[in-house]
Amino acid sequence: MNEDETFTRVRIRKGLLPLLQDFNPKIVERLTETARLLREEMGTETESGSEDLKLADLKQLSGAEMSKLLRAWLTANRGNLKQIELKHIDAIRRLANSRKSGKTVELPGGSVVVKEDGKLSFGKNKVEKRGSGA
């Protein structure tokens, strides 16, 4: 598998990285350092349990701080961030900042974030599949 170029990571390692090294011989070191910095900044070291998040508290955070907190909160509630993309974090941020109430953001895997009573709550999607009946 480490040599099979049908895998994107192999094509990156064998094709893209050597090309980038023509422009910057230290590209691998720079990418490694950038990844380390991102892990520190975006990691789940932010304290956030599985409890609801108060909208008033969220609105006091910068965009980056809110995103970091939301990632930690989702990890605490879901167990991981698999399939969670930037578009999902952005949707939850928009939900938190919206003046409208009673809205929901659906997440991969059947979970939802619901805005109600001045807070964000995490839960399982209760919508049943249509067309399954007699």
pTM score:
0.61
In a domain, 30, yes or no: yes
pLDDT at residue 124 in the model = 82
Q: Do residue 35 and residue 77 come from a single domain?
A: no
pLDDT grade for 132, boundaries at 50, 70 and 90? very low
Q: What is the DSSP string of the chain?
A: --S-TTSHHHHIIIIIHHHHHHH-TTHHHHHHHHHHHHHHHHSTTS---SS-EEHHHHTTS-HHHHHHHHHHHHHHHHSS-TT--HHHHHHHHHHHH-S--S-EEE-TTSEEEEEETTEEEEEE--PPPTT---
Q: Do residue 62 and residue 114 come from a single domain?
A: yes
pLDDT at residue 93 in the model = 94
Residue in the structure block whose two tokens are 């390692």? 13
Q: Do residue 115 and residue 60 come from a single domain?
A: yes
Residue 118 sits in which domain range?
Answer: 53-124
In a domain, 26, yes or no: yes
Secondary structure class of 130 (helix, strand, coil): coil
Average pLDDT on 1-24 reads 90
Is the pLDDT at 49 greater than 70, yes or no? no
pLDDT at residue 48 in the model = 58
Q: Considering its fold, how many domains does the chain have in total?
A: 2
